[in-house]
């Protein structure tokens, strides 16, 4: 009797141990599965992190590229909405109203280019540029600004006038400084244009050709530069329309120093 009961207890203990051993198998598998899932989750997080970084870097690079190709630099300008590129055929030697000997029509054409020279800059735009300027005295909250392109046109006109003093006698009023060959304003304009040209660094290739004309009196047959080429340019008419629509006239109502009054 005792032997039978012992045997039953022994068998029950063996069965219990086997059950425990069998129950350990899914626990070990579960532990391995959990470790695998944890590793996969970590790798997924790392992959997602670097994917987000790559997308952000791509977006920033594209924004920088679009800004540089759209308006020439990466800086903000309130004229962005007026910037539109178009394919233009540049032909330096073609007739146009801006080059040639001084005359009334040419002077008017240049005056028209500079109409709307002074523009209003809203406070939010000035903040976006990180710049400061003279606030207008009309209480609008706007400040004084000019487009860099129009300033360069102003400089070109000043140089044209300076080169033809007999036609533009008012330019003789320029004050010369001792030891200087160029009048300070002209020197400023030359330097402004130099920096602008080097900053933009137009990489368009100009080519050469042999002209149909016979050799010159010297007997030399000189090659000529082909100044006709196509280029992506800003739609000048659209930008000018924006400039004029945001322009103001210099007057005591707009530019007025709190102590010294109207400068002109």
Q: Is the pLDDT of residue 170 over 70?
A: yes
Q: Which residue has the higher pLDDT, 243 or 46?
A: 243
Question: For all residues of the chain together, what is the average pLDDT?
Answer: 82
The Cα angle at residue 79 between residues 76 and 80, in degrees rounded to 5: 65
What is the mean pLDDT of the segment spanning 241-252? 97
Residue from 89, 100, 86 nearest 228 by CA: 89
Residue from 222, 224, 215 nearest 93 by CA: 224
pTM: 0.70
The Cα angle at residue 241 between residues 71 and 131, in degrees rounded to 5: 50
**Domain boundaries of the chain, sorted by first residue:** 84-231
**Residues pairing with 91 in the sheet:** 228
C-alpha 42 chain-centroid distance: 40
Sign of CA dihedral 92, 93, 99, 101: positive
The Cα angle at residue 145 between residues 142 and 146, in degrees rounded to 5: 145
| Residue 191 Cα distances to 71, 117, 162, 182, 187, angstroms | 22, 20, 15, 11, 6
Q: Which residues, other chains included, contact 176 with Cβ-Cβ below 8 Å and sequence gap of 6+?
A: 183
Distance from C-alpha of 146 to C-alpha of 154, rounded to nearest angstrom: 11
- What number of other Cβ atoms are within 10 A of residue 13's Cβ? 10
The Cα angle at residue 245 between residues 113 and 78, in degrees rounded to 5: 95
57-71 pLDDT, tens digit per residue, is 555 554 444 444 444
Residue from 168, 170, 162 nearest 186 by CA: 162
What is the mean pLDDT of the segment spanning 139-167? 95
Sign of CA dihedral 22, 23, 25, 26: positive
Q: Which residues, other chains included, contact 168 with Cβ-Cβ below 8 Å and sequence gap of 6+?
A: 102, 161, 162
97-127 pLDDT, tens digit per residue, is 999 999 999 999 999 999 999 999 999 999 9
Distance from C-alpha of 50 to C-alpha of 38, rounded to nearest angstrom: 19
Most confident region among 48-62, 68-82, 211-225, 239-253 by mean pLDDT: 239-253
Q: Is the pLDDT of residue 229 over 90?
A: yes
């Amino acid at each position: 009797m005792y032997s039978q009961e012992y045997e039953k207890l022994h068998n029950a203990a063996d069965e219990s141990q086997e059950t425990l051993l069998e129950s350990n198998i899914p626990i070990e598998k579960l532990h391995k599965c959990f470790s695998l899932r944890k590793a996969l989750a970590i790798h997924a997080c790392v992959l997602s992190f670097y994917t987000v970084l790559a997308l952000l870097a791509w977006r920033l690079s594209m924004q920088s590229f679009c800004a540089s190709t759209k308006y020439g630099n990466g800086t903000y300008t309130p004229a962005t909405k007026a910037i539109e590129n178009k394919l233009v055929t540049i032909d330096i030697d073609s007739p146009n109203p801006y080059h040639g000997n001084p005359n009334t029509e040419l002077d008017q054409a240049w005056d028209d280019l500079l109409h709307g020279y002074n523009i209003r800059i809203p406070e939010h735009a000035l903040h976006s540029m990180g710049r400061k300027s003279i606030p207008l005295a009309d209480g609008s909250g706007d400040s004084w600004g000019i487009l860099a392109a129009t300033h360069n046109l102003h400089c070109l006109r000043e140089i044209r006038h300076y080169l033809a003093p007999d036609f533009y006698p008012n330019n003789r009023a320029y004050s010369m400084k001792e030891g200087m060959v160029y009048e300070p304003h002209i020197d400023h304009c030359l330097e402004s244009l130099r920096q602008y040209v080097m900053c933009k660094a137009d990489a368009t290739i100009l080519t050469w050709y042999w002209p149909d004309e016979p050799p010159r009196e010297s007997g030399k047959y000189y090659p000529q530069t082909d100044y006709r080429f196509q280029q992506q340019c800003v739609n000048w008419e659209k930008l000018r329309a924006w400039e004029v629509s945001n322009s103001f006239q210099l007057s005591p109502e707009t530019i007025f120093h709190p102590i010294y009054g109207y400068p002109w």
